[in-house]
Amino acid sequence: MLLVLKVGLAWFASDMAPYLYSIFTFNPDISAITASHWLVQTHIVIGFLIILLVPFSRLVHFLVAPFHYITRPYQIASDGTGIQKLLEMQREDGLI
């Protein structure tokens, strides 16, 4: 398979870099990508899909929050009864 496909760095410099430049300048030119192997095209499509899904996932927070957010457990929303019980326990213990 390696003989069929170009080797990574040479392929990126010759095909992908002009393609990405054309996308960032809002003038997409897909001629280099349409001539490439179907595995490369699939790889590019999957990469763009992952980038498009980031805003709709928890991963969007890595752009604005510290990195510990990724391993933080989910927050649990409650109806407030747990807080009321906690306040009652603190009143009984004389903490409030």
Give the tens place of pLDDT for each residue, 46-88: 999 998 988 888 777 767 766 676 677 777 676 767 777 878 8
**What pLDDT score does 72 carry?**
72
- Whether pLDDT at 16 is above 80: yes
Residue 43 forms part of a structural domain:
yes
Residue with tokens 């870099």: 17
Which residue segment(s) compose the domain that 36 sits in? Answer: 8-92
**What pLDDT score does 37 carry?**
81
- Global confidence as pTM: 0.55
Residue 1 forms part of a structural domain:
no
Residue 84 forms part of a structural domain:
yes
